[in-house]
Amino acid sequence: MPARLARLFAAILFLAGVALPAHAETWRRATAPGFVVYSQGEPAELREDIANLRRYDAVLHSEFSIPPGPQGAPLTIYLLERPGDVAKMLGRKGVAGYYAPRLEGSFIVAHREPPEKEGALGWRETLFHEYAHHFMYRHVPAPWPSWYREGVADYLSTVTFLDDGRWVVGRPALYRLGTAIKEPVPLLRLLENDDNALPEGRERWFYANAWLLVHLFRSDPYLERRLEGYLDALARGASEQVALLELGNIADLQRRMSDHARTAFADRISSERLPAPAPAEVETLGPAASRLVGLRLRWATGVDRDSVLADLTRLAADYPDDAQVAYQLAVALSQAMSDRAEPQADRVLTLAPDMPRALVMKGELARRRDAPEAEVNAWLSKAARLAPDDPLVQLAWFQARAKAGKAETRIAFADIEHIYRMATEIPKVRLTYALALATIGRVDEAEAVLVRLAAEPEGGGRAKAALARFRKIRALKERTRGAANE
């Protein structure tokens, strides 16, 4: 049944008071290198969505001068039907898209509703905006301020693909332009790298002016060079005040920004041509897997977890021999610190003895009950052998070995480097990598990783504390060394 007819039929049943079964919503899954996309749309639409994502990924590699390479851990994308569904899923009004870097698997929640009118914020701009964040965290882990991250994500999200394989960047984000003209902002206020500097409820004000400023920088080669100097200064660890000097006369920049709001229509056509992506594989999920998609997403967003746990328990009862369902219930029980977690993990391993993440969970639950370290490591090492490219599995095994001290950390260092390349966007991975670098004596590299992480919303608190401790210890060692040389 076509998707539109299915939705109409469901609406008629709802109005008639007929209850729908819990698995009425069927999900489809498309896979391609670097992506797993879930949607309830038609297969042809889903194939086109993932083809455009792959084109966009190639555009971002070109725009950021990142050479093609291994994709790393795949990104999961959930395409809900409407923006309101995204807001409801996240428990946050007005949110149409969301990106979350997670060790369990980084994911995006977006929607697939067409824009109401030309120039409005559409589903593709929303998805591309969120994917730009993932790309930057994965491939360009720089200490960029929030105005630049959001502005450049908006700037690139309006890309269009030409029939000959070229692309166009810099198209005006008309849904931002009106706000930028009506609500100009004191530039220094925008440039402050302080989340608390923004007035509450002024997100549109912030996004519009951030987009306009990035568009201005990208439209003028001289200003773009000044921007590069500013970003390079931040990457070296310079203070915000010192880095701002690279931008030149702020008052002049403010005037140019105001003028640009009325002329921000320049775009750029690439000279490169993208090859046509190979068609993605699309499969229609069965009842259990379809129900699990929604529950897994609801659990990941953290909204009303008691209700999700109850629904997972019912799903596991309905499908007692489904290992994936049993595993997701075990995850929920473990994170809820339930006494039922380890028996449920045992149940998973009965169904799937070689499921790597279930083995990791068993090891971590064994550690929680103070089992001997040898028992814990036996579970973790087996998982690591079975899943060499799973960041969650490999990080658990690396951290277990790192507890043995500097010598073991040095032996296992190649493994944390591999994890870092697979999932650079995950704060816990970067923090662990920085500490491993410091442990083996590569202190300058460790500090650079912490500087970048401390500037990001996801990594801020722990990274800032680690960076402060790191610099305090380093300063103490330098003073001690200086005193010894006198």
Residue 265 confidence class, pLDDT cut points 50, 70, 90: confident
Mean pLDDT value of segment 285-306: 95
Q: Is residue 307 scored above 60 in pLDDT?
A: yes
Q: Is residue 199 scored above 80 in pLDDT?
A: no
- pLDDT at site 480: 72
User: For residue 373, how far is the Cα from the chain centroid?
Assistant: 33
Cα angle 419-410-426, degrees, rounded to a multiple of 5: 25
Q: Return the structure tokens found at 7.
A: 């939705």
Looking at residue 127, its amino acid is L
Mean pLDDT value of segment 121-146: 92
Alpha carbon separation from 83 to 89, 135, 269, 435 (Å, rounded): 10, 22, 30, 40
Continuous segment of H or E residues that includes residue 76: strand 75-80
Over residues 415-432, the pLDDT tens digits come to 999 999 999 999 999 999
Contact (CB, 8 A) for 383 and 409: no
Over residues 201-249, the pLDDT tens digits come to 677 888 889 999 999 999 999 999 999 999 999 888 788 889 999 999 9
Contact (CB, 8 A) for 424 and 137: yes
Sequence-ordered strand ranges (E) for 122-232: 160-161, 167-169
304: three-class secondary structure by DSSP: coil
Looking at residue 115, its amino acid is P
- For tokens 């640009």, the residue is 260
Contact (CB, 8 A) for 439 and 421: no
pTM: 0.89
Residue 476 confidence class, pLDDT cut points 50, 70, 90: confident
Q: Which residues contact 380 (CB under 8 A, 6 or more apart)?
A: 359, 360, 363, 396, 397, 400
- pLDDT at site 459: 66
Q: Return the structure tokens found at 273.
A: 């041509």
Looking at residue 161, its amino acid is F
Residue 293 confidence class, pLDDT cut points 50, 70, 90: very high
Contact (CB, 8 A) for 209 and 180: yes
Over residues 310-365, the pLDDT tens digits come to 999 999 999 999 999 999 999 999 999 999 999 999 999 999 999 999 999 999 99
Contact (CB, 8 A) for 314 and 281: no
- For tokens 């790597």, the residue is 356
Distance separating alpha carbons of residues 244 and 234, to the nearest angstrom: 9
Kindly tell me the sign of the dihedral angle through the C-alpha atoms of 325, 329, 331, 332: positive
Closest CA to 147 of 73, 70, 234: 234
Q: Which residues contact 298 (CB under 8 A, 6 or more apart)?
A: 89, 304, 308, 311
Looking at residue 388, its amino acid is P
Q: What is the DSSP string of 220-288?
A: -HHHHHHHHHHHHHHHTT--HHHHHGGG--HHHHHHHHHHHTTT----EE-SS-PPPPPPPEEEE--HH
195 DSSP assignment:
G
Maximum distance among all Cα pairs of the chain, rounded to whole angstroms: 89
SS3 for 144-159, per residue? CCHHHHHHHHHHHHCC
Tell me the pairing of strands 28-32 and 281-284.
Answer: antiparallel
Q: Among residues of the chain, what percentage have pLDDT more than 70?
A: 91
Closest CA to 31 of 278, 277, 290, 281: 281
Cα angle 328-334-336, degrees, rounded to a multiple of 5: 105
- pLDDT at site 408: 82
Cα angle 329-331-336, degrees, rounded to a multiple of 5: 95
- pLDDT at site 181: 82
